[in-house]
Structure 1
Amino acid sequence: MVYKIFIAVFLAFMIYNLFRAMVVMNKNSSAQPPMSKYIGRRVMLSAIIVFILLIGIATGLITPNPRPY
């Protein structure tokens, strides 16, 4: 259960970075950090989440759905 909570926290942080990038894009101010900073974090977190899911499936902590339909 802790494993799934850990993944959910990463997903929430990824969505937070997505919305931060949107705010920076809409304000168009030079005082804020560049939008690529938040987009880069989002891509990095996506890669980490995929890696964590693969480890979870390989170790048996997460079981995939046997019937996807």
Structure 2
Amino acid sequence: MLLKILIVCLLIFMVFNLFRAMKIMLKGDSGGTSMTKFIGRRVLTSAIIILLLIIAVAMGWITPNPRPY
């Protein structure tokens, strides 16, 4: 259950960074914080989520659905 909560929190953090980057993009401000900082955080969060899922399946904490239909 803790793993699921962690993944959901990371997904929320990823969406939050996406919207912060969108805000900077729409503002068109060249000064201040860079949009790539937030996009980079989003990509890093996605990589962490994928690694957590792979580790959780390998350790047997979660089981994938054997029959998707």
Tell me the TM-score normalized by structure 2: 0.93
Give the RMSD, CA atoms, in angstroms.
0.9
Distance of 1:2 and 1:20 partners within structure 2: 27
Greater shift in the superposed pair: 8-17 or 23-32? 23-32
- Give the number of equivalent residue pairs: 69
Residue in structure 2 matched with residue 8 of structure 1 by the alignment: 8
Gaps of 5+ in 2: none
For the residues of structure 2 that align with 1:23 and 1:32, how far apart are their CA atoms? 13
Residue of structure 2 in register with 1:18 after alignment: 18
TM-score, normalized by length of structure 1? 0.93
Q: Which runs of 4+ in 1 moved over 6 A?
A: none
Match of 2:34 in 1: 34
1:65 paired residue number: 65
